[in-house]
Each structure stands twice: as C-alpha cells, then as structure tokens.
Structure 1
Amino acid sequence: MSTLRIDAHQHYWSLTHRDYGWLADTPALHPIYRDFGPEDLAPLLDQAGIDGTVLVQAAPSEAETWRLLALAGQPRSRVRAVVGWTDLAAPHAPARIRRLAQEPLLKGLRPMLQDIPDPAWILDARLQPAIDTLAALGLCLDLLIKPHQLDAALAFARARPSLRMVIDHAAKPAIAHRAFEPWAAQMARFAAETPVCCKLSGLATEAGAGWDAAVLRPYVDHLLQHFGPERLMWGSDWPVLNLAGDYLQWHAVSDQLLVALSAADRARVRGANAAEFYGIK
C-alpha cells in the first residue's frame, strides 16, 4: 500500500484567462477572486505534510487543461495527476481524449455536470464514444454532481462498472441547511450498487460559516459506513475551500473525523486510495 499523502482535489487558476465563467467579482466569491498557483499552495502542503496533489480542472475548456498540464510538468511541482476537460458530447471527443492521454500526468476527465441544466445529461447517447475511449485508455471520470443529479449518475455508473469513477465533494450535500435525506439514501445506494469511489472534499464549503467537526460528522460517518475507508479519498478543494475556511483548518478537522480509523485505514483515505485510483507512483 502506498504511503504517499495525497490531496486528491485542488485547483489553480489565473484571471487573465477568461474561461472561468463561474468565477465572478462578487462579494460572495471575493476570497477566491484572484490568481492561485503552486507558490500559494506549497507552504500549506509543507505544513500539512502532503506529498503530492491531484490538480483538477475548473473551467470547461481544453485550453485550461493544457495550462494545468504545463504547470504540473514544472520541476518543483508536486502535482502527481491532472484531471482535465474536453467536450464529451462532441463528435471529435475520442480523438481529443486520445491526444490528451499522451500526456503522462493526464489521468482523467471531469465534465462540469453540476452546471448543466439537464440532470440526466450524463446519460446522453452522444457521450458513448467518449466514454468508451476513456475506459479503453484506462482514464478516470470525476463526477461533479449535486444531490438532484445522483439518480442519473447512479444509472450511468451501474451501466459502466469497468470505468473508474469518483464522486467529487460527496455530491455536495446541503449541509448548511442540515439536509441529510434523500442524499444519504442515494449515496448508500451508490456505494452498494457500484464500485464508484467518493472524495472527502468540499464539505466545509457546503457547510458554510461556523462549521466544525460536529457539523460535518454525520455526513462523514455516513460515507465511512457505506463506502468504507477503501473507497474514500481526502481532498481539500483548495482554493474554493477558502470561501468557508482554510487548508490547515480542514486538514486538522479531517484528522478528528477520521480518528476512529486504524492507522492503515487513515493512510488509505489520506493518500493510498488516491494513488491507486489515479495511478500515482
């Protein structure tokens, strides 16, 4: 089992590139409305004892994916894997995926499903050639979904057990409103009926101001109960995390939430699972 400590979900972006349509100069997004790069994250990784990261797309553009791959390839980068983007519904998607897959650090793709109005878009037959190409190349699929998209995502995952998938941010339960059902039942079904993994990330942001271990524990305990430590991977969702807290706070609270696990199981959640899932060596 890998002993690497991996942050399985983080982002970099630069406002000079205009493909971040969701990132607006508003009071709500003020804490993250600036450039974020490796020099900003490095001190936090050092303090938290993180060996490497999975760098995930934040713009629905291939141009951003190529920028992320360039950043990841820098000599001092601690990026161990990149999850990029291409238009999976486009007729040329298989060729685009094969081109991206020539980059050794490209380990998967992520359509920004949460921003697509149709909750069943993932079931569109136009995606089938792209999905087949992902599976054939051994690439992963990150599922960026919200609770109302869980049923469609479950149907998709049940039909494609050979494609490695992970649910980002535990499907973003409405923790700020203390909403537990039907999210909890849907996630339990996902865990029972598919081999899909789940990221322990983004929960602080969904909880909003004033979150602590007690607020998050019911959700994390539910995920541990159903997915088990073998299918969960810890991530920061930095710098989006800065909307509701900070890196070291989330890292410390995560230790509290995982304290009942054995040392081996904590190591799985903290890095070994991500290393296996994304092919990090």
Structure 2
Amino acid sequence: MTTPMNIDAHQHYWDPARGDYGWLRPEMKPLYRVFGPDDLAALREAAGVQKTVVVQAAPTVEETRYLLDLARNDDSIAGVVGWVPLDSPDATTIIDELAREPKFKAVRPMLQDLPDDSWIEHAPRSEAIERLIDLDLAFDALIFARHVPSLIAFATRYPTLRIVVDHGAKPPIRDGIDVGWQPWADGIAQLAQLPQKLHCKLSGLATEANPNWTDETLRPYVTHLLEQFGPERLMWGSDWPVLDMNGSYSAWHDTARSFTSHLEKAKQDAIFGANARAFYRL
C-alpha cells in the first residue's frame, strides 16, 4: 500500500534584494528578509509535509526563473506556480520557455493587486490561455469576492482550463461574521457550482483574521469551503511565510487538521496532498 504524500500546496520563497516585490516593504519586519527552502525545512518536516508548491510573489518573469532555479536544486519543491504577462504578445513564447522546466506547473496573475477588477475577463490574450491548456498547465486565481463575476466569465470562456482559487477567495474574516460573510459566501457557492469543477485552496485564512484568532474564528469559513467544494476539490496550503504575520506554520496546520478530522482518512489525504498532486500534475 502506497503511503500518502503530504503536500503544502501554497508557499513562497523570496529575496527582497531582487527588487521586484512591490508589496514587500522594509517595515514588514517579519517578512523582509530572504526566505528559502532551508528556512522551511524544519517546519515542514515537523508537520509531516514532504513536498511543496512554490507560488510567485512578484509580477515578473525573472522571479519565476528564480523560483525554478531553486526548484532544480531542492527535491522538496514539487512544483512552481509562476507569473507570465498574459496580456502581452510575447505571452505564448514565454509560456513555451518556462514549460521546458518540468517543475513549472501553473501561472498566477496577481488579480487582487490590479486596478481593474475585471482584468481577467478581457485582458489575457486568448492564444496565451489556449497555450496553457495545450501544455496541460493550470491557473491560480488570486481573488477577492469582488472578482467572482469576472472569474466566472473567464472560466466559462475556457472550460477546459484547470483553475484553483487561492486562499478561499480571501474572506474578510477580521470584519467579523456579521459583516464579512457576504458577498464572499455567495461568491464561493457560485464558483463551486461551475461545471468544470474549480478547485480551491484551504490557505491564507489566518492572514485575513485578526491577531490572536482561534479555531472558532476560522471555523465558519472552513466549513463553508468544505461544504461547497468538498474534500475532493480542496487542497491545504500554508501561505508561509506570509502566515508568519498572523500565525505560525504549526498552528495553521494543526487547525486545518482538526477541522477535517471528522472525514474518512482518504478524504483527509486528498485535502493534504492527493488533490494538489493530481491538480498540479506533480
């Protein structure tokens, strides 16, 4: 019997000296330093996580190449989600170049940071998205609830593109359940009902909560994601080291495990590894 592989489906490595992380500022002291595989190793091993998917944190092709360089030299990196200028005439050429690297698995435009909330609906060049599909590459959607209508339009236009919603679409947990529940909850339901069966990452929720969050703070949001996407379409991710701003690797891993402990073992294994392995073709 094969032992299940535990996979962290969403974490980051970076070096601020590279100069293309516009959001990463010196005053963000816990994060403003180099983070590499050696920094994560002990945390990952303590949680029983064997492999990770490293996700871009800068909107540059150069950063994607930096991550692929790390991946070539570290077996714990199973895949890289990179950045490509999907609205550029050079997009397909860049995709072809990056796809020569076996650990290049997906692309992620940083939709949450773009001034146009409807960018994904009209800006990406169709030939670039079709090339992703042809090469069996996936798409990470970094969104808030306000992006849901445009993401639905995009997904409907490309029904064979594999899409995963990052961080549960970042619910405004710090606003409290009475304020922060809608329109997020309806948006999640709409995304989950799309016929191509989008996936979703059980990640980033601690970052959206107030400091000193507890399991009960996050429980309604995790429950809703589990009800809508089911264990067959959720994948656990740490969002480390961003997580360090408002939690810890072990605390979030333990919380996610506790929220899914009522599921049969095969479904837990799916959330904590098998789904990421299948979705990203690891």
Q: Distance in 1 between matches of 2:224 and 2:252?
A: 18
1:158 to partner: Cα distance? 2.1
Which runs of no fewer than 5 residues in structure 1 stay unpaired? none
Which residue of structure 1 aligns with residue 184 of structure 2? 183
Which runs of no fewer than 5 residues in structure 2 stay unpaired? none
1:130 to partner: Cα distance? 0.9
Q: Distance in 1 between matches of 2:45 and 2:199?
A: 27
Which residue of structure 2 aligns with residue 252 of structure 1? 254
Letter paired with 1:262: E
Which residue of structure 1 aligns with residue 69 of structure 2? 70
**Deviation digits for residues 56-89 of structure 1 (CA, Å, limit 9, x no counterpart):** 0000111111110010111x43000000111000
In structure 2, relative to structure 1, the CA distance for the partners of 1:126 and 1:219 (3 Å cut) is closer
Within the alignment, does 1:17 sit opposite 2:18 as a pair? yes
Counting aligned pairs with the same residue, the percent is 48
Q: Distance in 2 between matches of 1:147 and 1:125?
A: 19
Cα contact 1:38–1:77 (8 A) shared by 2:
no
Counterparts of residues 34-45 of structure 1 (less than 5 Å): 34-45=33-44
Letter paired with 2:182: E
* Secondary structure in 2 matching 1:198: strand
In structure 2, relative to structure 1, the CA distance for the partners of 1:11 and 1:126 (3 Å cut) is closer
Q: Distance in 1 between matches of 2:210 and 2:138?
A: 30
Q: 1:110 aligns with which of 108, 111, 116?
A: 108
Letter paired with 2:63: E
RMSD in angstroms over aligned alpha carbons? 1.2
Which residue of structure 1 aligns with residue 194 of structure 2? 193
Runs of 4+ in 1 over 6 A off after TM superposition: none
Which residue of structure 1 aligns with residue 167 of structure 2? 169
Letter paired with 1:95: T
Cα contact 1:108–1:141 (8 A) shared by 2:
yes
* Secondary structure in 2 matching 1:31: coil
TM norm structure 1: 0.96
Within the alignment, does 1:278 sit opposite 2:252 as a pair? no
1:126 to partner: Cα distance? 4.5
* Secondary structure in 2 matching 1:53: strand
Cα contact 1:54–1:80 (8 A) shared by 2:
yes
* Secondary structure in 1 matching 2:13: coil
Q: Distance in 1 between matches of 2:102 and 2:158?
A: 24
Q: Distance in 2 between matches of 1:208 and 1:80?
A: 32
1:265 to partner: Cα distance? 0.5
Letter paired with 1:185: D
Counterparts of residues 138-153 of structure 1 (less than 5 Å): 138-153=136-151
In structure 2, relative to structure 1, the CA distance for the partners of 1:57 and 1:6 (3 Å cut) is same
Letter paired with 1:45: R
Letter paired with 1:61: T
**Deviation digits for residues 102-153 of structure 1 (CA, Å, limit 9, x no counterpart):** 1000001100111001111001155211111111111000001111111111
Which residue of structure 2 aligns with residue 88 of structure 1? 86
Q: Distance in 1 between matches of 2:90 and 2:3?
A: 37
Which residue of structure 2 aligns with residue 208 of structure 1? 210
Cα contact 1:111–1:144 (8 A) shared by 2:
yes
Cα contact 1:71–1:77 (8 A) shared by 2:
no
1:159 to partner: Cα distance? 2.2
Which residue of structure 2 aligns with residue 232 of structure 1? 234
TM norm structure 2: 0.96
Within the alignment, does 1:33 sit opposite 2:35 as a pair? no
1:208 to partner: Cα distance? 2.5
Letter paired with 1:120: S
